[in-house]
Structure 1
């Protein structure tokens, strides 16, 4: 299953191309998220649409727990700062940080997070998750989807179960470090959302991953 970006979002991205700032990490120009306004909401909304069906329930639960939502132009700046701190905390760890609209996605390769066919987080990865928790607790106005993914080796049922258990392990660890459970949702996608071909060892390694998607709570 692949997430296709609608033409509306492509048009919004093109319209924003003229509003750029200098990326402090790559020294390249990029769109300034703090000034995207309503147009970036279309992009972020489409990305949210690719998340699990539990997302709306998570956001409602957060509001019910008294976590205030972000409004309008505050969203971009809030996520800019969260993205910057995640990049600082995770530099050199093997975890990538990607901005997709107003969402921030952390890609945690399976080989550094779990042993083969195991769902328990490796002890040497605790420090990395501790760093994620530090930032997550500071920016409480974001829901966090923890999604497990596998390659296509083995049965679909086995991979679905393994991906779900791995996502739950990461979520429970973050919870143990003080991230509010109401903000966490878990899902296992098994082999259904590959980011590379499964016909090579490298492709399969890329597909074995856990992704954390930080989604702003908005009005």
Structure 2
């Protein structure tokens, strides 16, 4: 899981380190695809959250490409405020739900 800037799709320095490690692992572990999934918390409108989760996943995917992962090996998913890591009510700001997950397949 990658924590990015809480209210945007900007990558933190730690996130770029984790992404670089995922890119390296994908090359040494015979990985065929990397699933990159973006999420948000429940604050904000549903359409905005969906778009934000897409931008977050795209930012991570772009960094993976910069780190040498072929674009055709990356699958991007955007889940908005669904699949919460921490269950909350509507309109709750929860930093742990603002994330991108990379799964190596």
Q: TM-score range by the shorter chain?
A: 0.7 to 0.9
Secondary structure at the counterpart of residue 33 of structure 2: strand
5+ residue gaps in structure 1? 1-106
Instruction: State the partner residue of 1:174.
Output: 64
Instruction: State the partner residue of 1:149.
Output: 39
Instruction: State the partner residue of 1:129.
Output: 19
Please tell me the root mean square deviation across aligned C-alpha atoms, in Å: 2.0
The number of residue pairs the alignment matches comes to 103
- C-alpha distance after superposition, 1:122-171 (max 9, x if no partner): 23432222122111122243311100011110100010000000000001
TM-score, normalisation: structure 2: 0.85
Relative contact order higher in (CA < 8 Å, ≥ 6 apart): 2
Task: Please tell me whether the aligned partners of residues 143 and 184 of structure 1 are also in contact (alpha carbons under 8 angstroms).
Answer: yes
Q: 1:207 aligns with which of 89, 97, 103?
A: 97
TM-score, normalisation: structure 1: 0.43
Secondary structure at the counterpart of residue 175 of structure 1: helix
5+ residue gaps in structure 2? none
Secondary structure at the counterpart of residue 142 of structure 1: coil
Higher helix share: 1
